[in-house]
Amino acid sequence: MKLTSLPQPEQPNYSSPHSVYNFLSQMDDSFSNSAKRRRRRKDGLDDNRDSNTTTNNNNHGGGIDESIKKQEGNKTKGLKEIITSLLLLDEQEKLDSEEWSKSHQEEKLLFESNHKKKTRAMFDYYNKFQGCYDDLDQSDGLRRMRRRKSRAATAAAAVVTAEPDQKGSDGSGGGAAVAVQQRRLWVKSRSQAWWDQCNSAEFPEEEFRKAFRMGKETFDMICNELSSVVAKENTTLRDAVPVRQRVAVCIWRLATGEPLRLVSKKFGLGISTCHKLVLEVCSAIKTVLMPKYLQWPEEESAENKDYG
């Protein structure tokens, strides 16, 4: 004989308070139905039994009924308490969700208002900043115009003062005055005290050799050899750098290896000017002095010396 498997009862879903409430109400209904069945069974007993037995059974049945009623009352009371607690929890959950949504909405509104305020402040700051830039551009344009006018006025005044001096006997003095006026516009005043001391005839030979790694005679010979290539003419705007100072800048740079910033301070010249002088003098040394004082041996004479 084969036994058929009974179907598995469906598991109730207790994920929400309403499902738990429904389940407990079903349990309460099942308990009440079972109690009614028991009462019906008790009422349908045989009436032909003995009176004493009937009395005893009735007394015993009455006690059972009372205990059953107590149990059912306790169960009903517990179910009611559970149901009320679940309803309270459900209400509390609803209240919490409403409060959370309300607070979230308030925070969102506050964030949007702060964002709008910051955006407005940034736009105001940008407009002010742009206005400051426009004012600066206008002021720079006015300064440039004033500088141009002042330069034109200075040049015109120099020309006017130079004309009567050229007509007179002392025309050289007027040209010197014009050169001095133009020199203020184009040349920055720097101290050349160190180079003037080194260039003087009273400067000691040992100190000169320590500074330039050569004696005064060698330095003078190099200046004489390179004077035709390195020398520049004076202009109306500025005086040219002398040959000895040009050669001294290059030799000092090559001898000490100091940066151009320190070379500029030593000789009272600009950094770019020192850089240009070093390149020019090095090129002149290569083109003038190297072929004259540095002679490479020929291939035939070198081979004869090696095998001789």
pLDDT digits 0-9 by tens, 112-130: 989 988 888 888 888 877 7
- Per the CB < 8 A criterion, the answer to whether 255 and 193 are in contact is no
pLDDT digits 0-9 by tens, 163-179: 555 555 444 444 444 44
Q: In the chain, what percentage of residues exceed pLDDT 70?
A: 66
Residue 41 has pLDDT above 90, yes or no: no
Between helices 243-256 and 260-267, what is the axis angle to 10°?
140
Q: Which of 8-22, 248-262, 294-308 has the lowest mean pLDDT?
A: 8-22
- Which range is most confident: 3-7, 161-165, 198-202? 198-202
- Note the pLDDT of residue 145: 80
DSSP 230-257: H-----SS-PPPPHHHHHHHHHHHHHH-
- State the Cα–Cα distance between residues 191 and 269, nearest whole angstrom: 9
Query: Cβ contacts of residue 186 below 8 Å, gap of 6+?
Result: 237, 238
- Per the CB < 8 A criterion, the answer to whether 251 and 219 are in contact is yes
> Token pair of 46, please?
């045989």
- State the Cα–Cα distance between residues 62 and 84, nearest whole angstrom: 32
Residue 267, judged by CB atoms within 10 A of its CB (0-12, 13-18, 19+), counts as buried
